[in-house]
Amino acid sequence: MEKRMTEDAMDRARRAALAEAEKSERRTGRLLAAAGLFEVVVFVAILFAIDWGDATHVVVFLSACLVYAPLAFGLISLHSALDAATQRVLTGIRFGAE
């Protein structure tokens, strides 16, 4: 015997999925902002702690920047790709409700 969801049950499931996705998006945004703020604070602290007259400090700082920058840009592009995929899924859910 086949069980089918009623339209009302499907609408409730869609609303719940959309609400959960929006809640997750807000939480991710807050966490990303907090992580960004932390990174800025640490970067400024490092800038003040470096002895700019010591070549070793400068080389280590530049090396760290050369490693960290592509990693950060890669994570940002990954976030953008995941956000685009999530928006496509949410659009499908919204259009399924019509």
The structural domain count of the chain equals 1
- Residue 48 in any domain: the answer is yes
pLDDT tens sequence across 26-66: 888 888 888 889 988 999 999 999 999 999 999 999 999 99
Distances in Å between the alpha carbon of 37 and those of 32, 46, 50?
9, 14, 20
Total Cβ atoms within 10 A of residue 45 = 10
Q: How far apart are CA 31 and CA 51, in angstroms?
A: 32
The two tokens of residue 88 are: 């496509």
Residues 93 and 14 sit within 8 Å (Cβ to Cβ): yes
Confidence grade of residue 90 (pLDDT, cut at 50, 70, 90): confident
- Residue 1 in any domain: the answer is no
Q: Is the pLDDT of residue 2 over 70?
A: no
Containing structural domain, residue 93: 7-97
DSSP 52: T
- Residue 2 in any domain: the answer is no
Q: Please list, in sequence order, all residues whose beta carbon lies within 8 angstroms of the beta carbon of residue 86, skipping any fewer than 6 positions away.
A: 21, 25
- Residue 72 in any domain: the answer is yes
Element (H, E) at 53: none
Q: How far apart are CA 55 and CA 70, in angstroms?
A: 23
